[in-house]
Chain A
């Protein structure tokens, strides 16, 4: 149950990855101690290649020697194994389906649209900004329906969809600060603007998503390349 030695639970990852952040937030919600094995940028460790031979990607969760990949699958695994901790997925099957739907949307449509937006220029950038904005408008609507006036998609506490989207918008907030474009707009998506603040300030998230200044540092480096 909830008592495993620290070495029993390992996360292979890298701190900037929003997918890795999801796993760490989920473990924090369940108060599970884990060993964080940071991959070196530009190379893949033997352990990574062995434990995720199909995709060779992070995050990988290794629990009692067994490895699991794909961040949203890992998060659901964490929710099911540490079932005595606070629930991550909602209990109602319809609500679960809706949260899974939007989490899949984040991975299949929204995150890809975010790619390279901070290094794009001119017309290409304008097109990307439009795509991202349309996605945010849809997510705002989903937020209003799902939260029912509360702070998170999951209600009073962070849930599955909060975890799926939060790290992405954490990055987006930093991209906005770089200037030149405003993606998270208080007028168009007021709920999400408030939500991302609450999310990043939450106990389970603090320390996993670094402060804006650190994220800006990385973005500046990317722009320089």
Chain B
């Protein structure tokens, strides 16, 4: 229920740059749930992470009353179901739920993977990745028009599941435009999404969670330097 669980009852293992972690934090904000944020050190995996997500060893991990749950979209659904008295994250109609789930899965399977590769790609490879992403944005614009029915968000008047799934990638989208010197979100091609992106980032549950472009660019450079042969990978 929405009873006041102590902060220590709800923990999020994560790191600020990760869109997947951001999803979980937005969901908790929507439900006004206080939580302890345990930030993983960049380049190493804590004992708690390895114990609570032994299968994938990845963030985010959500720990509620000692029980861990992994995979961001699964966590978001869990949060929606546990704190059921708070504002709904998934729509109530089964067909709308299926559509929201479909596009959230699309973001993870088809949209974000090429997006994250653009910043370190060159020439033909880069052009192909950019094409994939812009085609994806065209599809998502269409989905937005159908889903929002004229309102501000995929979820209607309030942020919902697909807003969270897609919106969490906006930090990296903007950083990629900056680093890759490429325009991805284009007001001429996807006007709905451009407006949506602004509304999303300004929302109360999201404010402060989408990292600024400069910080992500700095982080990306750190990442690239480490890959090029900095310190050896830690266990």
Contact = CB atoms under 8 A, between A and B. Distances in A.
Contacts of B94: 77, 80-81
B67 A94 contact: yes
Interface string B81-116: 110000000000011011101100110000000000
B101 A96 contact: no
Given A97-B69, A138-B55, A74 B98 contact: yes
Contacts of A73: 98, 101-102, 105
A171 B74 CA distance: 27
B78 interface: yes
Nearest to B53: A101
A4 interface: no
Contacts of B141: none
B185 interface: no
B78 A76 contact: no
A91 to B, nearest CB: 10
B71 interface: yes
Contacts of B67: 94
A101 B105 CA distance: 14
Contacts, number: 54
A105 B102 contact: no
B81 A70 contact: no
Q: How large is the interface on A (under 10, 10 to 19, 20 to 34, 35 or more residues)?
A: 20 to 34
Interface residues of B, number: 22
B139 interface: yes
B193 interface: no
A161 B228 CA distance: 41
Contact of B78 (A69, A97, A105, A138): A97
B77 interface: yes
A96 B81 CA distance: 10
Given A70-B105, A73-B101, A76-B101, A97 B74 contact: yes
A101 B98 contact: no
Contact of B82 (A74, A77, A93): A93
Contacts of A49: none
Contact of A101 (B64, B69, B139): B69
B75 interface: yes
B22 interface: no
Interface in B32-71: 55, 64, 67, 69-71
Interface of B: 55, 64, 67, 69-71, 74-75, 77-78, 81-82, 94-95, 97-99, 101-102, 105-106, 139
Cβ-closest 7 pairs across A and B: A80-B94, A93-B81, A77-B98, A97-B78, A97-B69, A68-B98, A100-B74
5 contacts: A69-B102, A76-B98, A77-B94, A80-B94, A97-B75
